[in-house]
């Protein structure tokens, strides 16, 4: 069985990543979501091993020391990270694993696991991005400005991604994402084994 692909999805805040990935997992059976480990306490209804793996600060720092995380970051006093064991287990069983993280984390993952597929999701235009952030209603004008400023900074890292997905229409974008990932399984770099096999067979005929 072919090994799964680790797919990292990033995108501007307001690009609709959350909805996109929810719909991808609903619509197609091929994917597992990576589950992050965190030191933040579980919220009501959250379950260890489903939303997150919940760990203490000490446990998390042991994971760091043991190099058991593909990447990790601190955010508002808590650690968040991607446990390598869970990802490896899913990939080994042939499932593609989807991991949603921001640009800096994504580039670290790619450095560590070179055959990671990096997808960047963007709304069709900056105007559309601003509109979506404002529509949420939960954002103050200042926080919209600060998110846009951040998007602006992040823009430099985007060119390191493998694919750019424009989220104009949700269903279209979900299908494109699915086909991009499935096509990646046919990349020559991922199929050196099959080529060597058929060449050996030809020699034996």
What does the binding site for a copy of itself look like in residue numbers (CB under 8 A)?
120, 122, 125-127, 129-130, 148, 151-152, 155, 158-166, 176, 179-180, 182-184, 186-188, 191-192, 194-195, 198-199, 201-205
Residue 169 burial (10 A CB sphere; 0-12, 13-18, 19+): exposed
The CA distances from residue 202 to 189, 190, 193, 205, in Å, are 21, 21, 14, 5
CB of 199 to a copy of itself, least distance (A): 4
CB of 161 to a copy of itself, least distance (A): 5
Q: Considering Cα of 36, then 38, then 40, then 42, what sign does the dihedral take?
A: positive
Q: Which is nearer to a copy of itself, 64 or 149 (CB)?
A: 149
The CA distances from residue 147 to 93, 138, 161, 167, in Å, are 38, 13, 20, 18
Q: Which is nearer to a copy of itself, 85 or 195 (CB)?
A: 195
Q: Which is nearer to a copy of itself, 61 or 175 (CB)?
A: 175
CB of 95 to a copy of itself, least distance (A): 19
CB of 110 to a copy of itself, least distance (A): 12
Q: Which is nearer to a copy of itself, 78 or 104 (CB)?
A: 104
Q: Which is nearer to a copy of itself, 34 or 122 (CB)?
A: 122
CB of 8 to a copy of itself, least distance (A): 13
3-class secondary structure, 10: strand
Smallest Cα–Cα separation from 77: which of 41, 105, 106? 41
CB 173 within 8 A of CB 121: yes
């Amino acid at each position: 069985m072919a090994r799964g692909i680790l797919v990292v999805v990033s995108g501007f805040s307001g690009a609709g990543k959350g909805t996109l990935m929810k719909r991808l997992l609903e619509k197609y059976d091929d994917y597992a979501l990576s589950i992050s480990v965190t030191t933040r306490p579980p919220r009501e209804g959250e379950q260890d091993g489903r939303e997150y793996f919940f760990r203490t600060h000490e446990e998390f720092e042991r994971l760091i020391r043991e190099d058991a995380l593909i990447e990790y970051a601190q955010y508002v006093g808590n650690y968040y990270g991607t446990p390598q064991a869970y990802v490896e287990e899913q990939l080994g069983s042939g499932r593609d694993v989807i991991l949603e993280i921001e640009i800096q984390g994504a580039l670290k993952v790619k450095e560590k696991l070179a055959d990671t597929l990096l997808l960047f999701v963007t709304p069709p235009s900056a105007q559309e991005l601003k509109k979506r952030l404002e529509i949420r209603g939960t954002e103050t004008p200042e926080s919209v400005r600060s998110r846009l400023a951040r998007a602006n900074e992040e823009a430099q890292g985007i060119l390191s991604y493998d694919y750019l997905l424009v989220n104009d229409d949700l269903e279209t974008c979900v299908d494109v994402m699915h086909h991009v990932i499935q096509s990646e399984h046919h990349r020559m770099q991922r199929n050196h084994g099959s080529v060597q096999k058929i060449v050996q067979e030809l020699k034996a005929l």
